[in-house]
């Protein structure tokens, strides 16, 4: 289960907003969870410093376009392994799978960072990859997050056990099938299969 985020503080000089800091709290109870980072922690968004106090045996899988790179947390001095992947990052608009060890009933995650504002661009490649909305807001992928699908785009949402799939159909349907716009939750990442390169753009301002 993924729980919600909020704006915890904003920093301003006079009446001009400088930035807004938010947090996202997630309680992961499934063996695998497909999660997003939608905040910029200002330190490179490295998995090793975002995923803290993990149960031993927690594995983070990041899709690289064809397979998964993985980091496993070991308690004690070893920490995240292998060392060669400790620079793996999870920036806003990105996502990864988290595998909960069988010895843990749940994993509690809290991400803290700046809420991105202004004109945001998340590049979408042709083919399959993991993406997320770049801001922590729940809602329709187009009506709220302004994702403009191509014909034959496919969205896969992980439900904890398998994928729920929707495909964007062209004429004469010109809609999603099965019917209904895909929605995304705060802290949720999705797979997008796109037939073409595009930019997922969004203009967002807190104030």
Separation between Cα atoms, residue 23 and residue 25, nearest integer Å: 7
Cα separations (Å) of 166 from 55, 89, 134, 142?
Answer: 34, 28, 21, 13
What distance in Å separates the CA atoms of residue 35 and residue 204, rounded to the nearest whole number?
21
Residue 18 has a pLDDT of: 65
In terms of DSSP bridges, do strands 118-124 and 79-81 run parallel, antiparallel, or are they unpaired?
A: unpaired
Report the chain (207 residues): mean pLDDT per 10 consecutive residues: 42 54 95 97 96 95 96 94 97 97 95 96 97 97 97 97 97 96 97 97 91
Instruction: Determine the Cα–Cα distance for residues 88 and 48; give it in Å rounded to an integer.
Output: 8
- Could you tell me which of 135, 128, 156 has the C-alpha nearest to residue 68? 128
Q: pTM (2 decimals)?
A: 0.89
Quote the pLDDT of residue 125. Answer: 96
- Of 121, 130, 116, residue with least CA distance to 60: 130
pLDDT recorded at residue 16: 47
Could you count the other beta carbons within 10 Å of the beta carbon of residue 177? 11
pLDDT of residue 205: 92
Give the span between the Cα atoms of 48 and 41, in whole angstroms: 12
What pLDDT does 34 receive?
A: 98
Strands, E assignment, the chain: 2-13, 16-28, 32-37, 59-63, 68-74, 79-81, 94-99, 107-114, 118-124, 127-131, 139-140, 154-158, 163-168, 176-177, 183-184, 190-194, 198-204
């Amino acid at each position: 289960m993924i729980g919600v985020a909020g704006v915890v503080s904003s920093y301003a000089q006079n009446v001009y907003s400088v930035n807004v800091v938010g947090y996202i709290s997630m309680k992961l109870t499934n063996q695998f969870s497909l999660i997003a980072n939608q905040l910029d922690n200002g330190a490179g968004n490295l998995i090793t410093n975002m995923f803290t106090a993990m149960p031993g045996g927690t594995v983070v899988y990041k899709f690289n376009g064809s397979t998964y790179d993985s980091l496993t947390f070991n308690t004690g001095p070893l920490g995240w392994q292998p060392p060669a992947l400790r620079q793996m990052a999870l920036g806003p608009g990105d996502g990864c799978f988290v595998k909960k060890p069988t010895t843990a009933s749940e994993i509690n995650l809290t991400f803290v960072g700046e809420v991105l504002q202004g004109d945001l661009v998340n590049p979408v490649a042709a083919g399959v990859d993991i993406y997320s909305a770049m801001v922590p807001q729940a809602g329709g992928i187009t009506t709220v997050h302004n994702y403009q699908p191509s014909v034959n785009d496919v969205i896969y949402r992980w439900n904890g056990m398998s994928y729920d799939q929707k495909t964007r159909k062209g004429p004469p349907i010109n809609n999603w099938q099965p019917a209904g716009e895909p929605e995304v939750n705060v802290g949720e990442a999705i797979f997008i299969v796109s037939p073409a390169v595009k930019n997922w753009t969004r203009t967002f301002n807190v104030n």
